[in-house]
Amino acid sequence: MAIVTQNPATGETLKTFPALDNTQIATVLQQVSMASVGWAVTPIAERSACLQRAAQQLRAQRDRYAALITLEMGKPIREAHAEVEKCATGCEFYAQNAKRFLADEVIATDAGKSYITYQPLGTLLAIMPWNFPFWQAFRAAAPALAAGNSVLLKHASNVPQCALAIEEIFQASFPANVFRTLLIGPQQAEKLIADPRIHAVTLTGSETAGRRIAAAAGAQLKKSVLELGGSDAFVVLADADLDEAARLATASRFLNGGQSCIAAKRIILVEPIAEDFLARFQQRLAQLKQGDPTREDTDLGPMARADLRDALHQQVIDSINTGAVPRMGCQPVAGPGYFYKVSLLDQVRPGMPAYDDELFGPVAAVIRAKDAADALRIANDSRYGLGGSVCTSNPGKGETFAHAMHCGQAFVNGMVKSDPRLPFGGVKASGYGRELALQGIREFVNAKTIWMK
């Protein structure tokens, strides 16, 4: 199969790459496997220095990498610059903390000496998505490389130039073949999991892809981490600062064109403040500037692909046909590119795609709740469990609410976001395992017990 990259702002085909054949895949896999042996025993200080070099290159070439992100997936250039900087920060975080995170831990036993030592597993296959084409790859690769693993990246097929640029960064900063990119299709990647030179797999992607990869990894008894879809609740309680809540909801739902697993996809409002909040929220949405993603003043670019826009619109139409009320947008933008109007659906209820499924695009779904208890019930009434937010003027109430939310990260008076210092991941159909922080670097290591009398 051919790997095709298009400009989603225009629909223009940019480049076509042939997918690697089985012989080429085998060659790259053998090169990475051989490099993995030396990398596993490289001192942590040297690994950290490599990560520092990667951070330096990211910043030195920030404008080029950001332009590539915008070109291939339509992210507004301002957000693309921030994504490149976040990758550099992530590399620095593990460069500064890997030694502490991987230090031997002495355990008090009746032996003369007992401790836990953390050793790399080998080669990690990282299957990554298009929506944050640099950050998703770096947040998986940086801790894995810091731990002494090698990494093979199978990136989304619509961002091959980003995938090759990421390989360029790591090849320039690390020993040869410790990190490589494979331009291959999903079925080829799935077959790779069975190869004995692959020791673990991590996937960020859809629930459907997650189930397939988990099954393939499980059949081979290989460690896997899955960060899948989300339908995050954004709850506004009666005592919330409504202006601030509307600002946060706008940022959370429409960042990256709404194409984020941790976007505020279900905005849950208690009835006493619902109309007041919606007036403020709708006013903010009307101010969002949609258009050319290469302009610094653009807030919202196109969706990444035509099929994604079509699927989103069908979900919107199906929700409206079953009773949801369109308050804004809810239509594709006419003309070139894959733009979808800033959209707001009200009166969303169970049985609608906007309630039950993940809407991956610039559509905000509003659900009415009777009170705080009902809002919590609705927040947890989802098969997903990635993140969630609650807005309230009472921090204690917010903390109690956050504890009761069924998700991997809950934010009080803030939008859900990833941070290298905090573990990131979900529960239920949003996956398992954690990326980032201490937990992320220890996902792909052997916690080995050493006991000496």
Active-site residue identified among 261, 330, 391, 407: 261
How far apart are alpha carbons 166 and 92 in whole angstroms?
16
pLDDT value for 453? 86
What dihedral angle (degrees, nearest 10) is formed by the CA atoms of 437, 441, 446, 452? Answer: -60
pLDDT value for 1? 72
User: What's this model's pTM, rounded to 2 decimal places?
Assistant: 0.97
For 408, phi and psi rounded to 5 degrees? -80, -25
Tokens 């509307």 belong to which residue?
Answer: 246
Three-state secondary structure of the chain: CEEEEEECCCCEEEEEEECCCHHHHHHHHHHHHHHHHHHHCCCHHHHHHHHHHHHHHHHHCHHHHHHHHHHHHCCCHHHHHHHHHHHHHHHHHHHHHHHHHCCCEECCCCCCEEEEEEEECCEEEEECCCCCCCHHHHHHHHHHHHCCCEEEEECCCCCHHHHHHHHHHHHHHCCCCCEEECCCCHHHHHHHCCCCCCCEEEEECCHHHHHHHHHHHHHCCCEEEEECCCCEEEEECCCCCHHHHHHHHHHHHHHHHHCCCCCEEEEEEEHHHHHHHHHHHHHHHHHCCECCCCCCCCCECCCCCHHHHHHHHHHHHHHHHCCCEEEECCCECCCCCCCECCEEEECCCCCCHHHHCCCCCCEEEEEEECCHHHHHHHHHCCCEECEEEEECCCHHHHHHHHHHCCCCEEEECCCCCCCCCCCECCEECCEECCECHHHHHCCCEEEEEEEEC
Question: What is the pLDDT averaged over residues 29-57?
Answer: 98
What residues does 358 pair with on adjacent strands? none
Active-site residue identified among 83, 227, 435, 443: 227
Q: 153-167: per-residue pLDDT in tens? A: 999 999 999 999 999
pLDDT value for 258? 98
Q: Are 329 and 371 in contact (CB under 8 A)?
A: no
Q: 77-101: per-residue pLDDT in tens? A: 999 999 999 999 999 999 999 999 9
C-alpha 101: how far from chain center: 23
Catalytic (active site) residue 330: no
Question: What is the pLDDT averaged over residues 278-299?
Answer: 98
pLDDT value for 111? 75
Around 47, how many Cα atoms within 13 Å sit in the side-chain half-sphere? 29
Confidence of residue 210 (pLDDT cuts 50, 70, 90): very high
* Token pair belonging to 55: 């951070």
State percent of the chain over pLDDT 90: 98
Confidence of residue 2 (pLDDT cuts 50, 70, 90): confident
Q: Does the structure show a pLDDT above 80 at 215?
A: yes
Q: Does the structure show a pLDDT above 90 at 174?
A: yes
* Token pair belonging to 339: 């733009």
Characterize the bridge pairing of strands 200-204 and 123-127: parallel
Confidence of residue 14 (pLDDT cuts 50, 70, 90): very high
How far apart are alpha carbons 260 and 417 in whole angstroms?
10
Question: What is the pLDDT averaged over residues 139-151?
Answer: 98
For the chain, what is the mean pLDDT?
97
Question: What is the pLDDT averaged over residues 3-7?
Answer: 95
Characterize the bridge pairing of strands 264-270 and 409-412: unpaired
For 426, phi and psi rounded to 5 degrees? -130, -175
Q: Are 438 and 396 in contact (CB under 8 A)?
A: no
Q: 418-438: per-residue pLDDT in tens? A: 999 999 999 999 999 999 999
Q: Does the structure show a pLDDT above 80 at 28?
A: yes
pLDDT value for 110? 85
The candidate with the shortest Cα–Cα distance to 411, out of 245, 255, 254, 299, is: 245
Q: Does the structure show a pLDDT above 90 at 112?
A: no
Catalytic (active site) residue 227: yes
